[in-house]
Structure 1
């Protein structure tokens, strides 16, 4: 059984097929749009693909990278997180550019030489903590701040180093332009930098500074695959202040920002259902022989769509939930009722509201207290298409928790009572959802499930989701 989603295979050549042939999120059209952008504005700029961590950016940019290669773009991919052990960012970026040197070896050697000179000349400044200002506007101000620490001779050396560094920067950028012009086949070099927001904060900021001040030349398009919120935390950490406007800071480096549109999570959920092989258990021969188990597939998928198709869940979070749900199924035997709707709801609560999950597990809520915390959650599921399904799910959940309280002798009352005024059932507790269509009291009193499950309480399911029951 699989517990981790393996990235889809990306064909490595034109002959193998379209790089997006295994994309489960229908994102090829966005890659086509980005290719048009980088080809139209080929004089060089920095673009950010900004989406939350876990939204599938890495898979997208790797597919796009191959598509660009198939269209004869010189394309580089740099995983900043895997390379942040490097102490010098320039060296790491030059190592990536080396991949293009087949047709420009002489110019690459000149580039490396000028880079070495530049590094050498900036070392005295680096040792004074001025690395991020080597080519910035405030370097003179920074020198004034440390002037009292320097002797006259030391200050002279610093000024000479700064002058040489400025010249070295010009030489480096000129050599980089020549190198790019020789290897780019008439199209911009696309330099993708991924996982920048997961690096050590100092390294992430250093990458940004290097890209902007050293490597941003005509003929190179840098693509930063980032989560701006997380990168903003890193920036504030480096500068030691929550008052730093990270949005304004990043605006200095990023010329164009692009957000991948929200994918259809329903497609992704159905893909995960197949990927994690739910059918091996839910649709096994033994279970198919029992008519009462036939609805398990639809119940699981429909409730997963209601709960996890929300934009607040990243693709990675949905994946982790499905892996845990699949693991939970392995705690059941093939002749047991699963109550897949409850399993999916518990997974949602465990992920989104862990404190509520723990209190439910320990039976700490009265029925009214549980309703008070669950009402806002169920009110947030606003899709009218699923209103009836969510009421059925809520009613079943309350019913199972009520049975749990009865078993533990934490309550003696029924979950519903007769309203004498109109002779209808009403909940003994107050819920804001009680009077919605598909009356909640009726559903809670007679949950729509087989009679054999009427005595199954929430703990029976929750112990399995919490993995305190042995796996088969």
Structure 2
């Protein structure tokens, strides 16, 4: 036991001498070759690395590179890195802020941009206008408003939620890639299209229930309401109700064969809404049924294609990359 202990002490002393020698050599090298200017290392997204690796990097920076004229700039999500530190040491009681102060001398926080700034920047950067505003697509009057609907849905999804910037970027990149599989005269139904990609990206279980036709109408409405309820205002409720109705119609066409399709209402003797009886209530509650029925009627009158359009068309487009990966 004494021999083992002595060997460990000797090894520790050798390592300590080695680190000291390394740091002196590194400081001399910088002073001799860099004209007194600092060398700056930028480490981005350390918080996204494997927790053990992230903590190991921090320790090595501290032990090996704490020499004059070497500066490390760490671009991190401090909250996520804190979670990684607690995970590595197996305790929620560790004060991650105190731990990080051992390594970080000066800290700056980048303010979160206004809610509508980042997604508008991405829409411009990813050149959505190439599709939505193309001369060929502009020839079809019923498709002219698609970009406006797309922007309104972005506002709905991103303005009143906790969707982080990386998630917004992922959603819009997938949206843009999928649009490349559409021809210029294809119906997109931007609100349904974008909400479905939103679900695929952030609510994987919900998405697979849709794809596998596992939801009843009520289940679908409940899941949609949970997803969108934080964004509901008196001004946009009708807009969200349009999304609800489109989802119900397109899911109905997707889940059932033509002769098995479920009706959303019973027709009376006339085509007037007063002679129609709803067979399903709005996800907002029974008191909104008149508005719900008028929304259904408006969509049926304004867009004949909606009666036969299926969610399958959109699912195939947005799952294209999954197929290529497989």
Which sits farther off after the overlay, 424-433 or 338-347?
424-433
Query: Aligned ranges for residues 72-221 of structure 1 at < 5 Å?
Result: 148=1, 150-151=2-3, 154-170=4-20, 172-174=22-24, 176-177=26-27, 189-221=39-71
Aligned to 2:271: none
Structure 1: where are the runs of 5+ without partners?
1-147
Which stretch shows the higher mean deviation, 180-189 or 349-358? 180-189
Could you say if the C-alpha distance between residues 257 and 398 of structure 1 is closer, same or farther in structure 2, counting changes exceeding 3 Å?
Answer: farther
Match of 1:190, SS? Answer: strand
Which of the residues 439, 444, 457 maps onto 2:296? 444
Task: State the SS of the aligned residue for 2:247.
Answer: helix
Larger Rg: 1
Alpha carbons of structure 1 residues 159 and 449: separation in structure 2 relative to 1, 3 Å:
farther
User: Higher helix share goes to which structure?
Assistant: 2
| Distance in structure 2 (CA, Å) of the matches to 1:303 and 1:179 | 56
Root-mean-square deviation (CA, aligned residues, Å) is: 4.0
Are 1:414 and 2:260 matched, yes or no?
A: no
Instruction: Please name the residue that 2:143 is paired with.
Output: 293
Where relative contact order (Cα < 8 A, 6+ residues apart) is larger, the structure is 1
Q: Deviations over 1:51-77 (max 9, x none)?
A: xxxxxxxxxxxxxxxxxxxxxxxxxxx
Q: SS at the partner of 1:453? A: helix
**What SS does the aligned partner of 1:191 have?**
strand
Give CA-to-partner distance per residue, 1:383-413, whole Å, 9 cap, x none.
6764543333233333433555673625345
- 1:428 counterpart SS class: coil
Secondary structure of the residue that 2:113 maps to in structure 1?
coil
| Aligned counterpart for 2:311 among listed residues 455, 459, 464 | 459
The aligned residue for residue 230 of structure 2 is: 380
1:245 pairs, out of 78, 89, 94, with 94
Supply the distance in 1 between the matched residues of 2:266 and 2:214 (Cα, whole angstroms).
Answer: 17
Report SS of the residue matched to 1:193: strand
TM-aligned CA deviation for residue 226 of structure 1: 2.4
The residue that corresponds to 2:167 in the other structure is 317
Whole-angstrom distance in 2 between the partners of 1:156 and 1:336: 77
Task: Please name the residue that 2:186 is paired with.
Answer: 336
Tell me which residue corresponds to 2:112. Answer: 262
Deviation at 1:299, TM superposition (A): 1.1
Task: Indicate the residue corresponding to 2:241 in structure 1.
Answer: 391
TM-aligned CA distance change 1:328 to 1:231, over 3 Å: same
Q: Distance in 1 between matches of 2:16 and 2:213?
A: 68
Q: How far did 1:367 drift?
A: 1.8
Instruction: Measure the CA separation in 2 of the matches of 1:272 and 1:416.
Output: 45
Change (3 A) 1:331 1:459: same
Distance 1:166 1:378 in 2: 58
Query: 2:297 and 2:255 mapped to 1: Cα distance?
Result: 15
- 3-state DSSP class of the match of 1:439? helix
- State the alpha-carbon separation in 1 of the partners of residues 234 and 264 from structure 2: 33
Q: Which SS does the other structure have where 1:224 is aligned? A: strand
User: What is the aligned partner in structure 1 of residue 154 from structure 2?
Assistant: 304
Q: Distance in 1 between matches of 2:113 and 2:289?
A: 31
Structure 2 unaligned segments of length 5 or more: list them: 269-273
Change (3 A) 1:408 1:383: same
**How far off is 1:334 after superposition?**
3.4
- Partner residue of 1:37? none
Among 99, 112, 133, the alignment partner of 1:283 is: 133
Query: Is residue 428 from structure 1 mapped to residue 274 from structure 2 by the alignment?
Result: no
Distance 1:312 1:288 in 2: 35
TM-score, normalised relative to structure 2: 0.75
Structure 2 counterpart SS, 1:258: coil
Deviation at 1:347, TM superposition (A): 1.0
C-alpha separation between the residues in 2 aligned to 1:413 and 1:382? 23
- Assess, with a 3 A threshold, how the Cα gap between structure 1 residues 415 and 264 changes in structure 2: closer, same or farther: farther
Contact 1:308/1:318 (<8 A) preserved = yes
Structure 1 210/444 Cα, relative in aligned 2: closer, same or farther at 3 Å? same
2:215 matches 1:365: yes
For the residue of structure 2 that corresponds to 1:222, the secondary structure is: strand
Residues 438 and 284 of structure 1, relative CA distance in 2, 3 Å threshold: farther
Quick check: 2:23–2:64 contact (8 Å CA) kept in 1?
Answer: yes
